[in-house]
Structure 1
């Protein structure tokens, strides 16, 4: 599903890209379970479970599924930094299909995304156990529910940094490919010329 890993991608960049795409899954599972009524969220003052605050016309289960799909899709895009489909636009895309992906077209959104993720996730560390109930009141998640919440949402703190690492690996690899397009490194070519010259 992820496609073939592109040749020359450093192992640390591959691990970062795949890690960023997979560490979103635990929070998605927690969110969907909550949307279907699992008793894993905050408890209101009257002892009832709360499932967050969403518009009344949106079913909670539909909201959590949609949000999880969007989150995982965005995380999955990071795999393109180390995959073949991140090097060449898929053939089914109009106009650009089959063409090589410009370096900036991948690096710019990935860098902005990494920065935003770092800012958003770090800003949520303070008060991470505080939720807004449907009636507008503030509730907290406690006990084993808090442990489960931290275990599933805590990994999101690494999403931004891992995406930044994968982006750096992409920049390094594309820069090398641009410097040595289909040929040996410059110093290697020079050594070969000296060795094969007149004696």
Structure 2
């Protein structure tokens, strides 16, 4: 069984008329999200030494640094699920509801039902590169000093290897959203 066969079974087949670059971008989104999910699970759930706590003490109330592993796992699973959902912008199931979907199965997916959430998601994800820059300066998104999570040496390299690819999610999703809209509305 080849890579294309496995991919088709997992994601569905690309819709007719979708160029190769768009299909690759759809797969790339799932791949750029995965390293950050693995970093979070490794550091917060498995306790791998991927970071150190700063002078800000870990939360006592079961917050993120207090061991709320379910939150980290849920965040990672939801992030990857949303990334995989982006493949609908290039797949056949993103144009026609799959038969197994009650009531809607076999009907066309309304263009705006896919474009509006994808465009809003893309816009929200465009903030992420700014957040990375602020983190690299030791600041929160608001500009406050953040010493809750510290990395040194190899930990910094692993952090950036996990999170830098995530900055591509927003632009890739924007490109797929525009392509989907143009392809579906072309007469």
Q: TM-score, normalised by structure 2?
A: 0.79
The answer to whether 1:2 aligns with 2:33 is: no
Alpha-carbon distance in 2 for matches of 1:24, 1:55:
29
Q: CA RMSD in A?
A: 2.5
Task: Kindly provide the CA deviation profile for residues 70-106 of structure 1, in whole angstroms up to 9, marking residues without a partner as x.
Answer: 1001111110000111111122323322210011111
What SS class does the counterpart of residue 127 from structure 1 fall into? Answer: helix
Deviation for aligned residue 1:22: 1.4
The answer to whether 1:164 aligns with 2:180 is: no
- 154-163 or 55-64, which moves further after superposition? 55-64
More helix by share: 2
**Does structure 2 conserve the Cα–Cα contact (< 8 Å) formed by 1:36 and 1:60?**
no
Deviation for aligned residue 1:139: 4.2
Which of 12, 24, 27 is equivalent to 2:36? 27
Using a 3 Å threshold, how does the CA distance of structure 1 residues 85 and 65 change in structure 2: closer, same or farther?
same
Larger Rg: 1
Alpha-carbon distance in 1 for matches of 2:137, 2:99:
46
Partner of residue 89, structure 2: 81
**Does structure 1 conserve the Cα–Cα contact (< 8 Å) formed by 2:53 and 2:148?**
no
Q: TM-score, normalised by structure 1?
A: 0.75
- Structure 1 residues without counterparts, runs of 5 or longer: 180-199
What SS class does the counterpart of residue 92 from structure 1 fall into? Answer: coil
Deviation for aligned residue 1:65: 1.5
Alpha-carbon distance in 2 for matches of 1:54, 1:98:
51
Partner of residue 106, structure 1: 114
Task: Kindly provide the CA deviation profile for residues 31-73 of structure 1, in whole angstroms up to 9, marking residues without a partner as x.
Answer: 111121101112445xxxx9x7595178543222211101001
Alpha-carbon distance in 1 for matches of 2:124, 2:163:
17
Give the paired residue count. 169
- Structure 2 residues without counterparts, runs of 5 or longer: 1-9, 141-145
Alpha-carbon distance in 1 for matches of 2:88, 2:120:
16
The answer to whether 1:125 aligns with 2:133 is: yes
Alpha-carbon distance in 2 for matches of 1:9, 1:160:
20
